[in-house]
Structure 1
């Protein structure tokens, strides 16, 4: 009996080929299914932004005004700029103020009811004329020219006076000032030669030569208003007040022979010459009219 013909030798391998292809396809699909299709990731550093300033706080209500007494009002401020008053500047002391205003510094302390004269403040306003004085009149008097008295070189006998030519008519002057405002009878405070003369704004008086210990004399009658070394640049200093208009200052002494409030006479020895707060032995001598330095050589007698 003859059966069906046998398949070709490679028929089984050919028949298995579709199965292999199917199996490969399934494996590939399984691989694709197991692998996630991720998008590429780019790592970026976070960008730093500049810190922005915080907004200023906004007050919900307007700020309260400072109380009126919070602003310090210096004594005498209401008198600033008025005649007879002085506004304290940096570096001032009561002694310097007294010298520059032509007053006894103790009087200024009393007029202003100052408890501690070492505690004055810049900007403080001080009365520098007596409370009963007319400050406006004194201010105008301070700028008036000094009285100049012409003296004859050689006085004539009284008998010959009747033959002299009549004097020119006198100029009518305002009412005379009180007797204590008269021009003092001046005398030289030292016998030494003048080293340096008065110079407006630079040299406030005369520098007079001498030796240590030479006598320093009061230039006119008066009362000592200061004796000490508390004024920088003057050394051991004596200040004499002669009347309501004039005072004199004697500086750089080695020894002081008078005390404050002591009365002195013209020619009285009040100190000994020295070099305190100076480069050499000398007497620095000032004449002040209403506190303003004037040239002593124009007031002292010729010699």
Structure 2
């Protein structure tokens, strides 16, 4: 038994020696592999990887100040909040959105940033009250019957021509000299009121009706906006009147007037609809220097 053990020792020694050599070879290979594979690991990262790493790098850098930040909190300026649109800011401040774009050097009115500070009164004007708007002179304009989708106007909706410049200007000049109680207002639609004014939840009156029912200008003025750029209003028209009044008409299915057009009280300006609404209705607002007021206080009794 002892002799067999001695005979096996050389074999075991050889086996152990070859095992050690094999392990040494593996160890050497494992050490060299990262060096040999290094060029592969240095390949240019995919775009998504670059994008993913950007926030951590940018987070360490100070945030650049927003445009107009030096005017934050000053009278006559407005700080943009989440969800704002330029047309909505214009409505709330009693201004024309085109004027806001010009005063603030906005090349693209659809691109405003949260935290950006906008001038909302004319340069050089008294900033108090911030919603004050000047009355523009009235010029002659032709009223086109133009649905929003560009399709031909419905039968019977013949184009109308605005009053001559002299008569329109004299009518508005006379209204400008009147007091608020003497301004002539008319109902913008024939339907019943389905939702009353509420300063917190409903900034105007909701008037019911059928799709296609006529919507009328509530008073003489000039179309300041015609489009669908204000969330919650659908296809909307805003008319500027004297004494810094604005009237707004929302949720229409077709708009029959265009921006900068002179309109007269009782003129058909739109067709009732349910754009951005769960039912057919006209949402009608009156604003004085941008502040919502109850239209029922100014409209004639029915």
TM-score w.r.t. length of structure 2: 0.62
8 Å Cα contact 2:214-2:270 kept in structure 1:
yes
Q: Is the alpha carbon distance of 1:140 and 1:126 closer, same or farther for their aligned partners in structure 2, counting shifts above 3 Å?
A: closer
Give the Cα–Cα distance (whole angstroms) in 2 for the partners of residues 275 and 234 of structure 1.
10
Q: Please name the residue that 1:220 is paired with.
A: 219
The answer to which structure has the higher helix fraction is 2
8 Å Cα contact 1:239-1:249 kept in structure 2:
yes
Q: Is the alpha carbon distance of 1:182 and 1:128 closer, same or farther for their aligned partners in structure 2, counting shifts above 3 Å?
A: farther
Matches within 5 A, 1:110-149: 110-136=102-128, 138-139=129-130
8 Å Cα contact 2:205-2:283 kept in structure 1:
yes
Q: Is the alpha carbon distance of 1:243 and 1:79 closer, same or farther for their aligned partners in structure 2, counting shifts above 3 Å?
A: farther
1:19-54 CA distance string (max 9 Å, x none): xxxxxxxxxxxxxxxxxxxxxxxxxxxxxxxxxxxx
Q: Which runs of 5+ in 2 are unaligned?
A: 1-60, 134-174
Q: Please name the residue that 2:264 is paired with.
A: 265
Q: Is the alpha carbon distance of 1:196 and 1:108 closer, same or farther for their aligned partners in structure 2, counting shifts above 3 Å?
A: same
Over the aligned positions, Cα root-mean-square deviation in angstroms equals 2.2
Give the greater-gyration-radius structure (CA): 1
Q: Please name the residue that 2:95 is paired with.
A: 103
Q: Is the alpha carbon distance of 1:300 and 1:210 closer, same or farther for their aligned partners in structure 2, counting shifts above 3 Å?
A: same
Q: CA offset at residue 243 of structure 1?
A: 3.0
8 Å Cα contact 1:181-1:243 kept in structure 2:
no
Q: Which runs of 5+ in 1 are unaligned?
A: 1-68, 143-177
Give the Cα–Cα distance (whole angstroms) in 1 for the partners of residues 125 and 105 of structure 2.
17
The alignment partner of 2:102 has SS state of: helix
8 Å Cα contact 1:86-1:128 kept in structure 2:
yes
1:231-261 CA distance string (max 9 Å, x none): 1211111111113521011011111001111
Q: CA offset at residue 179 of structure 1?
A: 3.5
Determine which of 167, 176, 179 is the counterpart of 1:179. 176
Q: Is the alpha carbon distance of 1:73 and 1:182 closer, same or farther for their aligned partners in structure 2, counting shifts above 3 Å?
A: farther
8 Å Cα contact 1:186-1:301 kept in structure 2:
yes
Q: Is the alpha carbon distance of 1:214 and 1:201 closer, same or farther for their aligned partners in structure 2, counting shifts above 3 Å?
A: same
8 Å Cα contact 1:181-1:244 kept in structure 2:
no
Matches within 5 A, 1:6-155: 71-136=63-128, 138-139=129-130
TM-score w.r.t. length of structure 1: 0.62
Give the Cα–Cα distance (whole angstroms) in 1 for the partners of residues 243 and 122 of structure 2.
10
Q: CA offset at residue 128 of structure 1?
A: 0.5
Q: Is the alpha carbon distance of 1:189 and 1:78 closer, same or farther for their aligned partners in structure 2, counting shifts above 3 Å?
A: same
What is the aligned residue count?
199
Matches within 5 A, 1:157-196: 179=176, 183=180, 184-196=183-195
Q: CA offset at residue 140 of structure 1?
A: 9.5
Q: Is the alpha carbon distance of 1:139 and 1:276 closer, same or farther for their aligned partners in structure 2, counting shifts above 3 Å?
A: closer
Give the Cα–Cα distance (whole angstroms) in 1 for the partners of residues 179 and 219 of structure 2.
12
Q: CA offset at residue 98 of structure 1?
A: 0.6
Q: CA offset at residue 213 of structure 1?
A: 1.0
8 Å Cα contact 2:131-2:290 kept in structure 1:
no
